[in-house]
Amino acid sequence: MPVEPILLVHGGAGNITDARCPGKFNGMKQALRVGIKHLIPSDGLSEGSALDAVEAAVAVMECDENFNAGYGSCLNLEGKAEVEASIMEGSELKAGCVTLLHDIMHPISVARCVMQNTKHTFLGGDAAQKFALEHGFEQLPEDSLITEDARLALQEFKERQARGLDTTFARTELDVKQDTGEQEPGTVGAVAIDCNGNIAAATSTGGITGKVSGRIGDTPLLGCGTYADNLQGGVSTTGHGETIMRFNLAQKIMAKIRYEGKTAQIATEEACKEMTERLTGTGGAITIDAHGRIGIHWTSHRMGWAYIKSGEIFYGIDHGKQFKEQL
């Protein structure tokens, strides 16, 4: 049965300042405008692809310093940007995941390359870097992904650490700079359903400021940061990675849809709330279920989200507030 195509994205969750909102809105809307061309081709003849759409949407945000993915990624304790991503399609449950890449702009595309050009699902570290270069991805000059904001965030993290202040949740993709009121950019993700009912999900991040070298978050882990199954739906999450990993947030949402018959919205809301009640850490998720219903929820102060449906863009960042405009 034909389904109305939908593309849904997020741009990170947390105490996002008012000053950050315009950049996030513009970035997410641009991601939708690019991604929808793959989901609903303008020639009216070829069929759209949910997988192409989520990759394209995430790739746009990886180039945007308003987000913590690709250019603008958070820095580890050594001052380096180690990026990671995952992508999954729901028809055959194929997926690609990468972690600990450096100086490569589009880890989401490397993840898809892993999915389509190997017998494996997950590559990391030097092996993932070598794979990317062997498959034509550009090795950028060292530290090309680093922004001045990311450097300042790491400096502040180290200062807080030196003063003995709690950095458990400070300066993650969730949280604000306590001293200056500034906020670092957030993880990005996308979920789509095409006219044939195919569902795909993709997530990309630079992790958290001040992480130790080699730290891996929830983003490249299936069932945590990303999941897609045509029979149930697709999910991309954002938040405190250690919390989301321990709770398996994406899979918890899928289970509520499958075993409890919950809609995408109710499943997403319940799972996010249960995660924070159990583990304290906050986060959010975007979901599309097999019926084309949308779910958007977060337990942090704000989460940037946007989707396109029937030629209109809907977007928001605060609980209870939604904006709408024509494509």
The active-site residue out of 99, 187, 205, 243 is: 187
H-run or E-run covering 316: strand 312-316
Structure tokens at 68: 């913590």
Please check the confidence at residue 247 and state whether its pLDDT lies above 70: yes
Q: Is 277 exposed, middle or buried (0-12, 13-18, 19+ CB in 10 A)?
A: exposed
Mean pLDDT along residues 31-35: 98
Question: What DSSP character marks residue 15?
Answer: -
Lowest-pLDDT range of 7-11, 14-18, 49-53, 266-270? 14-18
Q: Tokens at residue 268, please?
A: 């997403």
pLDDT tens, 40-62? Answer: 988 766 789 999 999 999 999 99
Q: Give me the domains of the chain, ranges plus CATH numbers.
A: 6-326 (3.60.20.30)
Q: pLDDT tens, 289-313?
A: 999 999 999 999 999 999 999 899 9
Active site residue 172: no
Task: Give the pLDDT mean for 180-207.
Answer: 85
* Measured distance CA(28)–CA(192) in Å, rounded: 14
- Per the annotation, where are the binding residues? 215-218, 238-241
**pLDDT at residue 206, as a whole number:** 96
Q: Residue 306: its pLDDT value, please?
A: 98
Amino acid letter, 257: I
Which residues belong to the annotated binding site for substrate? 215-218, 238-241
Q: What letter represents residue 254's amino acid?
A: M
Calculate the average pLDDT of the chain: 92
Is residue 180 over pLDDT 50?
Answer: no
C-alpha to C-alpha distance for 150 and 271, rounded to whole angstroms: 31
pLDDT value at residue 178: 34
Q: Would you state the pLDDT for residue 1?
A: 63
